Amino acid sequence: MSKMTVLLLKLAAPLQSWGASSRFTERTTRHEPSKSGVIGLLAAALGRRREDSVDDLAALRFAVRIDQPGSFMRDFQTEHTRKWDSDTRRFVFNESLSLSKRDYLSDAVFVAALEGDEDLLAECAEALHHPAFPLFLGRRSCPPSTQVYLGLVDGPMMEALADIPWQATERHWNYAYRFRGDKPKETVELKVVYEATEEQAACTLSETVRDVPLSFSQLKREYGWRTETTIRMAVKNSFWSSDDGRPASTSIASEHDPFAILEEGSE
């Protein structure tokens, strides 16, 4: 029997959208990544088609740490049908369809953890380095802004999450500790939403959500129920400096340089 392992992911992008109850023209988002969305990301990395089974991935325990909640953004989209105009010999707008609303999280950063079989998670880790299909955070219009893979470790899921330093951006740090005036600390307390066992659900305030992917098939998408609860977790503040309690320098280089490929081509 394989030992239990934890796969850690960093989910950061200009826009993310993790739908849980989207219907017709209303495309909502949760305040944090959904299990079904993260399982879909792993399935894409592994090269699984929508009709393929995801039962092994859905059996993984899931948790997500909110390092930077971001801000809510709503996009209104319109569509028109077209018809051929014989007088002008071109297509013209005919009628307007229903206005649709799409919700997003802007400038958010999360750390997700999946706990389960070592061999399966090692396969997922390798696939994240060389994904078979493009990765996106909830919707195809939301590609990640940095490498998704954070690490593969042994041990309990909560301990693995607690060992990862705060992943917030420099801009978020500046807002919290310079503009808003909060006193910097060596650790920062973050919210964690995790998949609860029956014993955990009985002892804490919990919520049942329909967020377990049973099928991603476009002909018949199905989701099952799971129970989740929340805790507060203290993690290392990566911006902290021990010098008189002052914040560390925030001159952090970006992990992604969009012009790097142009520089390589000019050499």
pLDDT in tens, 109-153: 999 999 999 999 999 999 999 999 999 999 999 999 999 999 999
Please name the amino acid found at residue 42: L
Which CATH architecture does the domain made up of 4-74+102-266 adopt? 2-Layer Sandwich (3.30)
- pTM beyond 0.85: the answer is no
The Cβ-side half-sphere exposure at 155, using a 13 Å CA radius, reads 10
Please name the amino acid found at residue 247: P
Q: How many residues does the chain have?
A: 267
- Axis crossing angle, helix 35-46 with helix 118-129, rounded to the nearest 10: 70
Interatomic CA distance for residues 15 and 138, integer angstroms: 9
| Interval 31-78: pLDDT, tens | 999 999 999 999 999 999 999 999 999 999 999 999 999 999 887 767
